[in-house]
Amino acid sequence: MTVFVGFNTINQFKKFTLTDFDLIKRDLLNAFNIRQGQLPGRPAYGSSIYDFVFEPQTQKTQQEVIQEIQRVAGGDPRIYVSDLKCYPQENGLLVELQIQVIPSKNAERLSIFFDQQQRNASYV
């Protein structure tokens, strides 16, 4: 049974409809790729994660990254982040999330790489 239905044109050529977890993953990635404050009428939407990617990766910076990821993921009422790990990389930041979709008990692990040069987030 399909619970969530949405529309996506990124890397889609004929079928533009996304459902359920595919839609949630796309929406989460969109939230990470939009800088906070850039969406008209929704100043809290988006992420300021790239402010931390260029900082020295100290324990304090990693804690701020984790708080920012929790804030962005917490903005989506369909998901719950049960586990979150952050790994500094040479050209960015790798984040592993354990995400549970609220209407179900299924959880899935996502790996998101925040690329320092291209300033974009993508699934690994």
Q: How far is residue 86's CA from residue 92's CA, in Å, rounded to a whole number?
A: 11
What pLDDT is stored for residue 18 in this prediction? 65
Q: Are 114 and 92 a contacting pair, CB within 8 Å?
A: yes
C-alpha–C-alpha distance, residues 76 and 29, integer Å: 12
Is pLDDT larger for residue 3 or for residue 101? 101
Indicate the fold that domain 5-123 takes in CATH.
Answer: Nuclear Transport Factor 2; Chain: A, (3.10.450)
Q: What are the extents of the domains in the chain?
A: 5-123
Q: Per residue in 17-58, pLDDT tens?
A: 665 777 788 888 889 988 998 888 888 889 998 888 878 888
- Tell me what the mean pLDDT of segment 61-83 comes to: 91
Q: What is the DSSP string of 10-78?
A: TT-SS--EEEHHHHHHHHHHHHHHSBTT-STT-TT-SB-THHHHTS---HHHHHHHHHHHHHHHHT-TT
Structure tokens belonging to residue 91: 């050209």
